[in-house]
């Protein structure tokens, strides 16, 4: 399936979709919590229908229930759904990040069983990496997985104890890709193992955290002696760091393409609402320019991914450009819709406010802007070690 044919087939299917009216809902939800619930439900439903119609299966390997083809097809799918308000880029991102990782790291028969459930929206998964004292310095994580019987090489199960935080969508999640320590703290990244944990396992408690915009998008997750079978190890035992590093290309490619579709749509919406004057043209021009710069870079990254290249530290540039574009878009909204973000009570203003506030997180999640600049300085520009 080539991209042009896929695009045409997808659009034709969506245009004819009899169910679309009950799913597409661009109106403002009464509260941030309702809004998030609706976005999760809407995304899962459309993914389920597209999977059943086979259109959701392109771009995923056949060994994981897909129909094969380039990841460009998945990029196109997500961007089209986001542009039509049929899916949320944050919910799609979790799929784009975790499904390829599990396809690479899990035994083939398990990946074939698990991945279709995620990609078809039947399940939601979350990513349990960050901890209260461990974000940028992930190698310092302390959530521990102790092998039953003492020997990690032969243990039939691990007992997990510890806490994760900022775990996006944890309260909706059926499973969690978890990083836990399986050796001494001083071994740092060499003694971390990745697991796929069922979120309804006894001993797991999820405590949603309210963000500044009122949504409860992420949560604290507590693991109190949770028994995880050894066949839930992803990749090698003590190989969790390698898995975390392999996630990187997926965090910075297809899901950025989906986010670009969201930003383009918001720029269009803003252009329709902003006054028709020079000041608006300037602010909008800056936002559209930033989004387009990101798009040009991201397109090249996607094509490298599709060509089978290994993506690496150069994707920190993509992450910095996402941050610049999202901040510019919502800075423009705040400047051009006076009082909307700060004061107005109407439902449309509430959405601009929520999204403006959420946009401030873009320099934090998925690796902070400071860390990305360090990577650019040290690994791309060879400017020497951190001072």
Ligand X SMILES: Cc1cc2nc3c(=O)[nH]c(=O)nc-3n(C[C@H](O)[C@H](O)[C@H](O)COP(=O)(O)OP(=O)(O)OC[C@H]3O[C@@H](n4cnc5c(N)ncnc54)[C@H](O)[C@@H]3O)c2cc1C
Applying CB under 6 A, which residues contact ligand X?
126-130, 135-136, 166-168, 218, 361, 364-365, 367-368, 370-371, 374
* Cβ nearer to ligand X, comparing 76 with 326: 326
* Cβ nearer to ligand X, comparing 210 with 370: 370
* Cβ nearer to ligand X, comparing 29 with 357: 357
CB of 67 to ligand X, least distance (A): 28
Backbone conformation region of residue 313, classed left if phi is above 0, alpha if psi is from -120 to 50, else beta: alpha
Phi first, then psi: give them for residue 240, nearest 5 degrees: -65, -30
* Cβ nearer to ligand X, comparing 72 with 170: 170
Q: How many CA atoms lie within 13 A of 120 on its CB side?
A: 17
Task: Using alpha carbons, list the distances in angstroms from residue 29 to 38, 93, 259, 351.
Answer: 8, 22, 21, 8
**Could you tell me which of 274, 264, 250, 271 has the C-alpha nearest to residue 294?**
264
* Cβ nearer to ligand X, comparing 221 with 306: 221
Tokens 């490298």 sit on residue:
304
Tokens of 39: 């976005």
Residue nearest to ligand X (CB): 135
* Cβ nearer to ligand X, comparing 76 with 251: 251
Distance CA 22, CA 203 (A): 38
Instruction: Give the DSSP letter string of 73-93.
Output: HHHHHHHHHHHTTSS-HHHHH
CB of 225 to ligand X, least distance (A): 21
Distance CA 52, CA 46 (A): 10
CB of 131 to ligand X, least distance (A): 8
CB of 184 to ligand X, least distance (A): 22
| Residues recognised as catalytic | 251
Phi first, then psi: give them for residue 345, nearest 5 degrees: -100, -15
Is the four-CA dihedral 95, 98, 100, 105 of positive or negative sign?
A: negative
CB of 170 to ligand X, least distance (A): 8
Distance CA 383, CA 379 (A): 8
CB of 62 to ligand X, least distance (A): 29
> How does 222-238 read in b/e, with b if 16+ C-beta sit within 10 Å?
bbeebebebebbbbebb
């Amino acid at each position: 399936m080539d991209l042009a044919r896929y695009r045409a087939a997808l659009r034709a299917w969506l245009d004819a979709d009899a169910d679309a009216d009950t799913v597409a809902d661009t109106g403002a939800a009464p509260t941030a919590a309702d809004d998030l619930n609706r976005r999760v439900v809407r995304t899962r439903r459309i993914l389920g229908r597209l999977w059943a119609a086979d259109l959701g299966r392109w771009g995923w390997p056949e060994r994981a229930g897909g129909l094969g083809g380039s990841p460009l097809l998945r990029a196109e799918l997500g961007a089209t759904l986001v542009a039509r308000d049929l899916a949320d880029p944050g919910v799609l991102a979790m799929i784009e990040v975790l499904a390829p990782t599990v396809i690479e790291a899990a035994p083939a028969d398990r990946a074939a069983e698990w991945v279709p459930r995620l990609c078809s929206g039947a399940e939601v998964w979350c990513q349990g990496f960050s901890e209260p004292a461990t974000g940028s310095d992930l190698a310092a994580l302390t959530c521990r997985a102790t092998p039953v019987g003492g020997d990690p090489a032969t243990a039939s199960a691990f007992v997990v104890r510890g806490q994760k935080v900022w775990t996006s969508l944890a309260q909706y999640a059926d499973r969690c890709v978890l990083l836990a320590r399986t050796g001494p703290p001083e071994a740092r990244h060499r003694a971390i193992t990745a697991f796929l944990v069922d979120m309804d396992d006894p001993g797991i408690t999820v405590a949603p955290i309210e963000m500044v915009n009122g949504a409860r998008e992420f949560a604290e997750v507590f693991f109190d002696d949770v028994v995880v079978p050894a066949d839930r190890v992803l990749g090698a035992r003590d190989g969790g760091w390698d898995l975390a590093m392999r996630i990187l290309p997926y965090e910075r490619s297809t899901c950025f393409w989906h986010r670009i579709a969201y930003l383009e749509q918001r720029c269009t919406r803003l252009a329709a609402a902003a006054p028709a004057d020079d000041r608006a043209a300037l602010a909008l021009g800056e936002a559209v320019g930033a989004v387009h710069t990101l798009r040009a870079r991201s397109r090249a990254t996607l094509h490298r991914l599709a060509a089978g290249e290994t993506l690496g530290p150069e994707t920190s540039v993509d992450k910095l450009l996402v941050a610049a574009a999202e901040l510019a878009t919502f800075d423009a909204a705040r400047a051009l819709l006076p009082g909307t973000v700060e004061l107005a009570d109407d439902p449309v203003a509430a959405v601009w406010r929520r999204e403006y506030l959420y946009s401030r997180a873009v320099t934090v999640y998925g690796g902070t802007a400071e860390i990305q600049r360090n990577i650019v300085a040290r690994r791309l520009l060879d400017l020497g070690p951190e001072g």
